[in-house]
Structure 1
Amino acid sequence: MDTLAETLPYHPNLIIKKLNSLYHTRMDRREYNTEGTNVFAEDWDNLAILDACRDDQFRVTNTLAGEVETKVSRGSNTSEFLKANCNGRDLSDTVYVTASPIYYYHRDAIDAEFHEVINVWNEEGWHEDVKTVLPETTTEYALDAAEEYPDKRLLVHYIQPHYPFVESDTEFDKKQLHDGAEKDKSFWHELNHGDLDISRRQLWHLFEENLERALPHVERLVGELDGRTVVTSDHGNMFGERSRPIPVEFYGHPPKLYTDPLVRVPWLVQEADERREIVSGDSRADTDSIDDETVSERLADLGYVEM
């Protein structure tokens, strides 16, 4: 556990964030949000994850048919969500199609056994101009996986609404696109230090646009898949709300901070007339060929600069 002295060089808000995280984790005695939902214990054939999508933001923007509930996530960022839900589990009945490098980066710590992991971000699916995986690409890979593995559960992880903002001409979220730019600080870091001039309303709108950009492709996925499909999120975001118990405005999605904006996520269910017959199979996941430099570059492009 980090000591308080180790946090002192940072901005006062981040010191308070550390104190709040100690409160939420019962002084680091909880590795994740134990009040959250174990997604693999839920009933689904297909689970689509929208990265960093708040429940309230989804309800305003959603165009998908189906009943929307609210669940509580086990994590307040992606790595915590994956560790809390996947760690040590036999998931040999599941194929994981992911646009995010986070699972690969933490694969040893997570120690899960999927039947197959399809790293869209490491293949032709990566969009070099925008420096992310577009939602239509994630859908294409997922539909191909569904055809190849008709007797497996399908876990599909979209990047959106997480930045970069695909259709926006903003630059603060795309520093990695400019030569000579400072790449070691995310814009969440700058917001929490008071170094970026953008309003909560503007930032909310940008995430909303990214979600709107993704939803038609999620809708296509849901419409073409067999079985019971759930659309959810790994975690939410704080857009300047006050954290607790020490009230201070905060932006982003750090781990170990279980406020409502961070852990309340949508859970949209689309029923199916027929269910797939799901069976386990030997693990075919092989990630040894992925270049570590590629992983680091992809993470930086997506704003994960403080791993």
Structure 2
Amino acid sequence: MGAIRNVVEGVKLWARSSVKAIRKEGLSGLSESARLLYTHLLRFYGLIHNYGEPIYDAEWDVLIVLDACRADLIEEVVAEYNFINFDATNSLGSCSPEWMEKNFTSSYLDEMQQTAYITGNPYSETHLDPTEFELVDEVWRYAWDEELETIPPDPLTDRAIAVARDAQPDRLIVHYMQPHHPFVPSPLGEGMHPDTGERLEFSDLEDVWTRLQRGELSREEVWEGYRDNLEYVLESVETLINNIDGKVVITADHGNALGEYHMYGHPIYAPVWPLKRVPWCEYEATDSGSYTPDPTAWKHHATTDDEALSTEDKLAALGYI
């Protein structure tokens, strides 16, 4: 019922947005209105015809989740990394909340209670129950980088290695925020204010998917930034894999659409392959002991209580709200 309610609210939002667009842009606003209606109808279809593989139906000791990583994106860089044995699967979700809701259910409570979850995704606040897991470490709460407007990968790697060595959980999930936008090495979300000339941060501009849709960015520019962000996180993933034991799987919660099916980004309940087709790369890892996490390394990212961003601020910086 909650999913249907979300779609109904989405249709109401579409109606309000359509009226606003037509009032502002005249008949040219009809094109965007039609695209949004199409997206909502597709999402409604996705409620009825859902597909994907639950993560707990597979065998793994360590599940590395690269947020918003398409299968064909990681396939492009396979030759650069000896720990990526490329394969793919279908995700249960087309965005993070849906992925969490559908994987972490009462059917898998026994497995969840033996799982440590290290996460950089702020949706854990509303879509995970920490009491159902052996451990939930919401690294995004204390290692958020306000300058980057995201959480960098290294604090997650440090916590994952420490938890794996000290707590030795049966299963470990490490949920990195990259390659999800903002693209750290190639910040397409930065720019100059057209009137004042002042530098704009990621959250001051419309998200990269809106700019791609409007033609302000080319598909090639966005894809390159997307790939650079994947390579950025894989540097830290390599440190993790070299300092952990067990069967490791690299996957994603969902992908991104770059105009396929007239869609951009990753709307919820959208059953299209750019959003649902994700990596499933298996690797047998051995802890080399070559790296020792520094528990204070992330502290330079932290803020005081008065300065701390809210969860909503962080989700907005990531383009979710």
Whether 2:313 is the aligned partner of 1:297: answer: yes
CA–CA distance in 2 between the matches of 1:60 and 1:297? 33
> Which structure 1 residue ranges, 5 or more long, are not aligned?
243-248, 275-289
Q: CA deviation at 1:171?
A: 3.2
CA contact (8 A) 2:119 2:176 kept: yes
Check conservation: 1:172, 1:187, Cα contact below 8 A: no
Structure holding more helix per residue: 2
Q: Alignment identity in percent?
A: 33
Residue 60 of structure 1: aligned partner: 76
**Structure 1 vs Structure 2 CA RMSD:** 2.8
Residue 97 of structure 1 is matched in structure 2 by: 118
Structure 1 residue 152, shift from structure 2 partner? 2.9
**Cα distance, 1:191 vs structure 2:** 4.3
The 8 Å contact of residues 212 and 222 in structure 2, kept in 1 or not, is answered as: no
Contact 1:173 / 1:187 at 8 angstroms: preserved in 2?
no
Partner of 1:117: 136
Pick one of 14, 17, 31 that aligns with 1:7.
14
Q: Bigger CA drift: 164-173 or 42-51?
A: 164-173
Which of the pair has more CA radius of gyration? 2
Note if contact 1:54-1:265 (Cα within 8 Å) is conserved in structure 2: yes
Contact 2:243–2:286 (8 Å) recurs in 1: no
User: TM-score scaled to structure 1, two decimals?
Assistant: 0.79
d(CA) in 2 for partners of 1:42, 1:221: 21
Inter-partner Cα distance in structure 2 for 1:179 and 1:74? 33
Q: Which structure has the higher relative contact order (CA within 8 Å, separation 6+)?
A: 1
- Give the aligned length: 271
Aligned AA (2:70): R
User: Per-residue deviation at 1:293?
Assistant: 6.0
Moved more, 36-45 or 148-157: 148-157
Does the 8 Å contact 2:85/2:283 carry over to 1?
yes
Q: After TM superposition, give the deviation of residue 105 of structure 1 in Å.
A: 2.7
Describe the shift of the 1:117–1:16 C-alpha distance in structure 2 as closer, same or farther (beyond 3 A): same
Name structure 2 gaps, 5 residues minimum: 19-31, 194-198, 288-304
The residue identity in structure 1 corresponding to 2:310 is T
- What is the aligned partner in structure 2 of residue 267 from structure 1? 280
Query: Is the CA contact (8 Å cut-off) linking 2:202 and 2:317 kept in structure 1?
Result: no
- Which residue number in structure 2 is paired with residue 282 of structure 1? none
1:228, distance to aligned residue in structure 2 (A): 0.7
Going from structure 1 to structure 2, the CA distance change for 1:180 and 1:220 (only over 3 Å counts) comes to closer
CA contact (8 A) 1:100 1:158 kept: yes
